[in-house]
Amino acid sequence: MFIDLQSPLHKVESFLHQIEFFSNKNEKITEITKPGEGNMNVVLRVKTNLRSFILKQSRPFVQKYKEIKAPIERIEVEHQFYKAIIANNTSLNQHIPQVLKFIKEHHLLILEDLGKCEDMTSLYSSYKIERNQLKLLVNIVSNIHKTKVANKYPENKELRKLNHQHIFELPFLENNGFSLNNVQEGLEKLSIPYKKDELLKEKIKKIGDKYLSEGTTLIHGDFYPGSWMSKQENIYIIDPEFSFLGFAEFDLGVLAAHFILISKDKAVIDTIEDFYPTTIESALLAQVTGIEIMRRLIGLAQLPIVLTLQEKENLLQLAYQLIMN
C-alpha cells in the first residue's frame, strides 16, 4: 500500500493493524501531516490517540521531481544504515531516530517522531556557524565512518549513479536543459568558463569515478544541512538513503562545502581536519569540497541561500582552486 496525505485515515489505520504495527486495537489515527519538505520520499507524521511517529515511504521516482526515476529500494538502504549504527556503534544512538518498524515489501520505514526539530537549512540564512556545531557534526560523521558493517551492506549502485549525474556530470554540461538565468540573471554566463574547462572536468571525472567505485568506509552520502535536525543542543542525522561503503573524504567534503557556502571562510577545511580523529587525504577533501560548492552554485540542486553574483563568482573561483590543487 502506498500512503500519502490523501489516504483515508481509516485505510491507513487498517493497514498499520495489518502489518502489526498497531498492537492495541483501541489505537486510532487522529491526524496525518507533513513534518517538512522531503525531496526523495513521502514523509508523513502520523498522530494517534496514543502517540506520534513518522512514516517514510519510497516511490520509483524522486518525490519532489516525479519525472526523475529513482530506485524504490533506497528505503532499504536507509534501514540498513540505521540497523548498522544501532548494532555496531551505540555512541550514535542519541543522534539518529529510533527505527520502529520496516516493511520491505511496502517500501516503508516507520521512525520515531523527533518532535519539535528543525532541519538546519536555516544556517543558509544565518550566514554563521558555531564552532561547537561543527565539532559535533565532525564527531558524528567520524563515528559513522568508524562503524563496522557486514560485507553484504547495500552497494546502492542505482542511486549512486543518479547522484553521480547530479554532482559530477550535469552541472558541467553546457547544454543540460537547466537555465541558470532563471535562478539568477547573469549566472549562466558566470558558469560557462567552468563548463568549457576540459582540465577541470577531467579532475572532476576522476573524483566521480572514485565515488562510483567500492570503498571500505560507511558514509552517510548526503551530509549537508538538510540531513541534520537540531533539537536544543543535540543534532540528529536523517535521510541516509544515499549511504554506501565509500571514502570518508566524500562526507567531509560535502560538510566543508556547505559550511563555506554559509560562512565564506575556507579555513573550515583545516578545522574539519583538526577535529577529525584520523588522518585523511587533504587534497581529496579539498577536491570534493570544491566540486560540491560548484555543483550547488551552477547545478540543478540549488540551495535556499541568497548570494550576490559577485559572491558566487568568488566562491566559484575558490572552488576551482580547491579542485585543481
CB 112 within 8 A of CB 97: yes
CA 234 to chain centre: 18
Which H/E stretch holds residue 47? Answer: strand 42-48
Q: Is the pLDDT assigned to residue 126 strictly greater than 90?
A: no
CATH of the domain at 231: 3.90.1200.10
Residue span of the structural domain in which 107 resides: 9-112
Query: Which of 112, 145, 170 represents a domain boundary (last residue)?
Result: 112
- CA dihedral of residues 56, 53, 81, 241 (deg, nearest 10): 20
Residue 1 lies in a domain: no
Residue (of 154, 156, 160, 136) closest to 84 by Cα position: 154
Q: Is the pLDDT assigned to residue 102 strictly greater than 90?
A: yes
Count of domains observed in the chain? 2
CB 305 within 8 A of CB 125: yes
Share of the chain above pLDDT 90, in %: 88
pLDDT at site 119: 86
Residue 50 lies in a domain: yes
Q: Is the pLDDT assigned to residue 118 strictly greater than 90?
A: no
Residue 43 lies in a domain: yes
pLDDT digits (tens, 9 = 90+) for 154-207: 999 999 999 999 999 999 999 898 999 999 999 999 999 999 999 999 999 999
Which H/E stretch holds residue 30? Answer: strand 29-33
Backbone angles phi, psi at 245, to 5 degrees: -90, 110
Q: What are the distances in angstroms from CA 299 to CA 16, 174, 191?
A: 40, 11, 9
Q: Are residues 94 and 123 in the same domain?
A: no
pLDDT at site 233: 84
pTM equals 0.95
Residue 103 lies in a domain: yes
Q: Is the pLDDT assigned to residue 36 strictly greater than 80?
A: no
Q: Which SS3 state, helix, strand or coil, does residue 141 take?
A: helix
Query: Which of 112, 144, 164 represents a domain boundary (last residue)?
Result: 112
pLDDT digits (tens, 9 = 90+) for 47-59: 999 999 999 999 9
Other CB atoms within 10 A of residue 232 CB: 7
CA–CA gap between residue 271 and residue 240 (Å, rounded):
24
pLDDT at site 127: 79
pLDDT at site 269: 97
Write the DSSP symbol of residue 241. Answer: T
- The label of the residue with cell 566562491 reads 315
